[in-house]
Amino acid sequence: MNTKKLKKCLSLFATGITSIVTKKSKNYIGITVNSFSSVSLEPPLVMWCIDKKSSSIKSFLKVKNKYEIIFLSKSQRTISNKFASADNEVSSLSLNNIKKNSLGYMICTFYKKLSAGDHYIILHKVKTFKVLNDKKPLLFFKSKYC
């Protein structure tokens, strides 16, 4: 299979951008994810995927961690880029500002990890959520923000 052509085909599906954030020492570490999806309402479950080679994988696979899934607004492209880079740590104050300017967020706990090819599918149980702003979402289409 030609993976380059497959990626191009998959890029035809427009997705929203989320930041998945968890505690790391005194700060928070985040990653940018466009593989987020709702799974179940009873119990309330959501999922996202992480590359098995991700440099952040250890922080995100700690079972006892609490996770915040932040739905980014169109104005938060720099946040998405920051969490997609190696410099993906923020302070609690910065995290609060990120959330305040987002569309909303969920606070979740780890539920289950499934191995799927070169990625893990991470399932989380939603503990609480907040809808914040009626802004336009940050979208990804044809491997670019739009």
Whole-number pLDDT of residue 77: 96
Q: Are 126 and 106 in contact (CB under 8 A)?
A: yes
Structure tokens at 72: 């980014």
| Structural domain boundaries in the chain | 15-145
Instruction: Report the CATH fold assignment for 15-145.
Output: Pnp Oxidase; Chain A (2.30.110)
**Tens of pLDDT, residues 37-84:** 999 999 999 999 999 998 888 888 776 778 999 999 999 999 999 999
Whole-number pLDDT of residue 49: 94
- What residues contact 3, with CB distance under 8 A and at least 6 apart? none
Q: Are 123 and 113 in contact (CB under 8 A)?
A: yes
| Reported pTM | 0.91
Whole-number pLDDT of residue 63: 61
β pairing state of 89-90 and 144-145: unpaired
Distances 6 to 10, 20, 43, 125 between C-alpha atoms, Å? 6, 25, 34, 31
Sheet holding 119-131: strands in order across? Answer: 37-41, 44-51, 119-131, 104-116, 66-71, 18-24, 27-33, 89-90
Whole-number pLDDT of residue 58: 82
CA-based nearest residue to 29, from 52, 1, 61, 2: 61
Whole-number pLDDT of residue 55: 84
Whole-number pLDDT of residue 60: 80
Residue 133 pLDDT exceeds 90: no
**Tens of pLDDT, residues 1-28:** 899 999 999 999 999 999 999 988 888 9
